Amino acid sequence: MAKEIVRKINLQIPAGKATPAPPVGTVLGPAGINLQEFCSKFNDASKDKMGDIVPVVITLYNDKSYDFVLKSAPAPFLIKKYAKINKGSAKGANEIVATITKEDLRAIAETKLQDLNAYTVEDAMKIIEGTARNMGVAVKGVNDAELAEQEKEAKKEEIELAKREAELEAMEESAKEEAKEVEVISENKKDEEETEN
C-alpha cells in the first residue's frame, strides 16, 4: 500500500548549513520530523552547493516518515551571485545596478532549467533575462540599448520630480510668508481696536 502524503513543506536553507534552530526547527519540529536527522541528511545532500541558498521540498507521510527533494537556487539569488551584488535595484528595470554576460545568463538558465516551465535552455534564458531586468541587472549584448533607454527615461523623470518638488517648496514658502503677513495685519488691527477703546 502506498504511503499517503499528509503535507508538503517548502523551505530555503543555506547549503550545508541546516541546523535545528529556527527557521528549520520552527517549521519542522511541530511536523514531528527528527530535526537532527533531517539537518544531517540535508547538509550531506547539499554540501556541493556551499554558498548557495537551496530550496527544499519536504514531503510528510501518514506513517510519520518523510523525504525531501533539493531544488536549484532561486533565480534572483543566482543573478546576484553572478552580478556580484547584494541586492537588486529598488527601482526595478528603471535603474541598472549591475551587468552580467550572455554566458552568465546561459549558466544560470542551465542551472534553473529543471525547475522552470521551459523545455530548452534558450527559453529558460528568456525567463532569467526577464527576472534580471526586473532586478535592474542588464545582460551584455542582449538588452543594452533598451536598458540604456529606460535609464535615460528614469533620469528624465527624476529631474522632473525634483523640479516639481522645488516648485512645491517655493509655493509652501510663499504661503508661509503670506500667513505671516496676515498675522501681522490682524495683530495691527487688534492693537488699533484696543487703542480706540
Place of cell 514531528: 32
The pLDDT assigned to 190 comes to: 67
In tens, the pLDDT along 175-186 reads 888 877 777 677
Asked if residue 158 is part of any domain, the answer here is no
Share of the chain above pLDDT 70, in %: 87
Hey, is 63 helix, strand or coil?
coil
Overall average pLDDT of the 114-123 stretch: 86
The answer to whether residue 26 is domain-embedded is yes
Residues in the chain: 197
Give the CATH number for residue 106: 1.10.10.250
Residue type, 78: L
Per-residue model confidence (pLDDT) at position 146: 63
Q: How many domains, the chain? A: 2
pLDDT of the residue at 34: 87
pLDDT at position 163, please? 87
196 falls within a domain: no
Largest Cα–Cα separation, the chain: 106
Distance CA 144, CA 170 (A): 39
Where residue 91 falls among pLDDT bands split at 50, 70, 90? confident
Last residue of a domain, one of 38, 70, 102: 70
Domain CATH code at residue 61: 3.30.1550.10
Which of 52, 70, 88 finishes a domain? 70
In a domain, 182, yes or no: no
Q: Is the pLDDT of residue 191 over 80?
A: no
Q: Which of 70, 101, 122 is the last residue of a domain?
A: 70
pLDDT number for residue 44: 92
Looking at per-residue pLDDT, the higher value among 146 and 46 belongs to: 46
Q: How far is CA 153 from CA 145, 162, 189, in A?
A: 12, 14, 54
More confident site: 155 or 100: 100
Domain extent at residue 141: 75-147
On whether residue 94 sits in a domain, the answer given is yes
Please indicate, yes or no, whether the overall pTM of this predicted structure exceeds 0.75.
no
Q: What is the mean pLDDT of the chain?
A: 83
Q: Give me the residues paired with residue 12 across strands.
A: 55
